[in-house]
Structure 1
Amino acid sequence: MQNPATRPAAPAAILRDPAGIRARIQEAAGLSLDRLPMLQLILDRLATACGDALKHRVASTVFYALSGVESGRFGEFLDVHENNAVAGIFHAPGWDGHILVGLDRDLLYTMVEVLFGADGSEPAIEDERAFSAIELRVAQMVFEQVGKALEGAFGLVSQTAFRLERTETRMEFAVIGRRTNNAVQAKFLFQALNRSGEMFLVIPQALLNPLRPSLAKVLTGESTARDPRWSSQIAAEVQKAEVTLRAVLEERHLTLGEIAGLKVGQVIGLDATPATRIKLEGNDRPLFWAHAGQAQGAYVLRIDEVIAQDGKDSKNKDGAHGLAG
């Protein structure tokens, strides 16, 4: 009978599914952040949304900005913030996984002062004590806002909710995967009362791998925080702007000597007739061809052709005419 200790190990399972092979290779290789332009856009939107969520709660000016994105090991990211941050663990049901959002000590101290109306005249707190109940409650409020901002930002590529499951003040308990697993960390600078703090977001690479095709796309025409009311007001004000038009019946080129020889009372003959088209100009640029006429005892111009800016005339295809005085 063969000794189990000396029995040869079973051969490793061979992956034959192309999708499984691809996933293993991607997991081992890590993420190339330069090839994920949409991720940068999503994180910028997240920073903007976090700042907007605080505007109606505080009287002071607050500012969030993305300060950096990097890939590495999950455990290495948490070790930097040991005993110096509060971590929020979020569950993303649509991704079947968890992400971590952290708030460092400086951010929490500043956030408490801003929410309670401080003006920044007192010196900043530098005590590394345990977080108070008020500070942890403020962290809970911030996490709730970040969860909504995450849902809106990542909605560009994947619809999922982000539900806060728990908060941790010790990083060794903020476990959402193995410490050796690959992850992406985004850092956000928070500024208020001439002070600054940091928020960090850690996403396991396994959650981002299925989103690679969407994150690799370049979204054209994207405009963040566009306000339709502001756009409508701008359009209305632009349409109220007054524009001066000049009607040119005929142009005559004269030499400097001919101009110098002109005398008072001299008549310059024109070749134009009542049927000659008149050119309408604005800001010294030709805009329309028109014909002269009369309406209700006044001289008018009937626009019948648009002058294209490339020098070629373009007919008014819909047949509509305007009258300009």
Structure 2
Amino acid sequence: MTVDREAPEKPEVIRLAAVDGEPVASPGTGHGLKAVLESNVISHERLPMLEVVCERMVRTFATSMRNLTSDAIDVNLEAITSVRFGDFMGHMSLPALFGVFQVKPWESYGVVTVDAGLIYAIVDALLGGRGGTRTPPPEGRTFTTIEMGLVSRVVQMALDDLALAFEEIAAVTMGLERMESSPRFAAIAEPSNAAAVASYRVSMEGRGGVFSILLPYATIEPVRDKLLQRFMGEKLGRDHIWAAHMASELYNTEVTVDVVLGEKMMSLREVRDLKVGQTIALSHSPDDALQVHCGGVPLGRAHIGQRSSNIAIRMATDIAKGYPK
């Protein structure tokens, strides 16, 4: 007897295609959790207010650079992207400088990266260079103390302008803690953590480069709700019509006002022995001002009397000025 066996199916071949220069994997790429962990795509919610803050920084930082260097400075916001911290730091072109700064109210950190072109442009401008293109330094050369000091001054100035741009969102203070020349010493988050990166290009009369401000999403978490807003108006888009309507409704709200004739400490036995018609003596005379309460909160003092056959009170103190102690 002869048994025919079918040949095993060949495993699916995974091919990569290129769409607009970006490699795109076929549907068979990766399996399950591994595909999610190894994915380079960062899926994170868009933060419109963060884009507004970064765009506002362009104008203030350009003015600060012009005042510092007395040169014609052009600053442009290239892109705001979401990346993994490890991927961004690992793809930085060296030599470069990394400035670690702290956002003090949030007790978190961020990183400012400055590429070699902008570093030498800053040094050349601050030391009185003539401008124009400059021959790049040999590979492996480390930055001197003077170069790092000049760049750190500009980085702190950029952080001050970024904090100024954040004023409409929250009052923050950003202070540069240290400058590093290696990304390994500027690690402030896990490599897999997501971060928002704003990249700026600075042009200074034929010279310049790029610097980037990296903020992990854990750093901006305290103001995430505000960064999700789409518009920045007066006090974050306060609705004056709603506020006026709320105030008018509050003024028309009915409240119960209590007039305290007096208070007396009594034992539980005395309270139990009270009889109908029994008189309780209070420490106030008819001419004394009585306390006026609303929901247990003292409002002021008033005199009690009678008007049109009704018991009435006349305020002796102004409620708007508070209850006298």
Normalising by the smaller structure, the TM-score range is 0.5 to 0.7
The match for 2:84 among 64, 69, 73 is 73
8 A contact 1:30–1:205 mirrored in 2: no
Post-superposition offset of 1:88:
0.9
Match of 1:279 in 2: none
- Are residue 160 (structure 1) and residue 172 (structure 2) matched? yes
Equivalence map 1:11-22=2 (5 Å)? none
Following the alignment from structure 1 to structure 2, what is the Cα–Cα distance between the partners of residues 173 and 189? 24
Following the alignment from structure 1 to structure 2, what is the Cα–Cα distance between the partners of residues 162 and 114? 25
TM-score (norm 2): 0.55
Match of 1:32 in 2: 45
Equivalence map 1:64-213=2 (5 Å)? 64-81=75-92, 83-121=94-132, 123-128=134-139, 129-213=141-225
Aligned sequence identity (%) = 27
Partner amino acid for 1:207?
T
Partner amino acid for 1:31?
H
Following the alignment from structure 2 to structure 1, what is the Cα–Cα distance between the partners of residues 180 and 134? 27
Post-superposition Cα deviations, 1:4-40, rounded to whole Å, max 9, x if no partner, equal xxxxxxxxxxxxxxxxxxxxxxxxx84223xx22111
Match of 1:46 in 2: 57
Match of 2:310 in 1: none
Structure 2 segments unaligned to the other structure (5+ residues):
1-41, 235-325
Match of 2:3 in 1: none
Name the CA shift for 1:166/1:219 in 2 (closer, same or farther; >3 Å). Answer: same
Name the CA shift for 1:96/1:219 in 2 (closer, same or farther; >3 Å). Answer: same
Post-superposition Cα deviations, 1:36-78, rounded to whole Å, max 9, x if no partner, equal 2211110012222221112222232112111001112101111
Name the CA shift for 1:122/1:104 in 2 (closer, same or farther; >3 Å). Answer: closer
Post-superposition offset of 1:125:
2.9
- Let me know the Cα RMSD of the aligned residues: 2.1
Equivalence map 1:297-308=2 (5 Å)? none
Following the alignment from structure 1 to structure 2, what is the Cα–Cα distance between the partners of residues 150 and 186? 11
Following the alignment from structure 1 to structure 2, what is the Cα–Cα distance between the partners of residues 217 and 183? 19
8 A contact 1:46–1:150 mirrored in 2: yes
Q: Which secondary structure state, in structure 1, belongs to the residue aligned with residue 69 of structure 2?
A: coil
Match of 1:17 in 2: none
Following the alignment from structure 1 to structure 2, what is the Cα–Cα distance between the partners of residues 127 and 138? 20
Post-superposition offset of 1:149:
1.0
Name the CA shift for 1:179/1:82 in 2 (closer, same or farther; >3 Å). Answer: farther
8 A contact 1:46–1:149 mirrored in 2: yes
Post-superposition offset of 1:84:
2.2
Following the alignment from structure 1 to structure 2, what is the Cα–Cα distance between the partners of residues 59 and 124? 23
Equivalence map 1:238-249=2 (5 Å)? none
Q: Which secondary structure state, in structure 2, belongs to the residue aligned with residue 157 of structure 1?
A: coil
TM-score (norm 1): 0.55
Name the CA shift for 1:210/1:112 in 2 (closer, same or farther; >3 Å). Answer: same
Name the CA shift for 1:103/1:91 in 2 (closer, same or farther; >3 Å). Answer: same
- Are residue 55 (structure 1) and residue 55 (structure 2) matched? no
Following the alignment from structure 1 to structure 2, what is the Cα–Cα distance between the partners of residues 137 and 79? 24
Count matched residues.
Answer: 193
Post-superposition Cα deviations, 1:192-228, rounded to whole Å, max 9, x if no partner, equal 1212301011111112233222112233568xxxxxx
Post-superposition offset of 1:175:
1.3
Partner amino acid for 2:44?
L
Match of 2:31 in 1: none
Post-superposition offset of 1:153:
1.2
8 A contact 2:49–2:227 mirrored in 1: yes
8 A contact 1:85–1:105 mirrored in 2: yes
8 A contact 2:133–2:206 mirrored in 1: no
Q: Which secondary structure state, in structure 2, belongs to the residue aligned with residue 207 of structure 1?
A: coil
Partner amino acid for 1:164?
L
8 A contact 1:82–1:171 mirrored in 2: no
Following the alignment from structure 2 to structure 1, what is the Cα–Cα distance between the partners of residues 185 and 86? 11
Following the alignment from structure 1 to structure 2, what is the Cα–Cα distance between the partners of residues 122 and 66? 22
8 A contact 1:119–1:193 mirrored in 2: no
8 A contact 2:101–2:175 mirrored in 1: yes
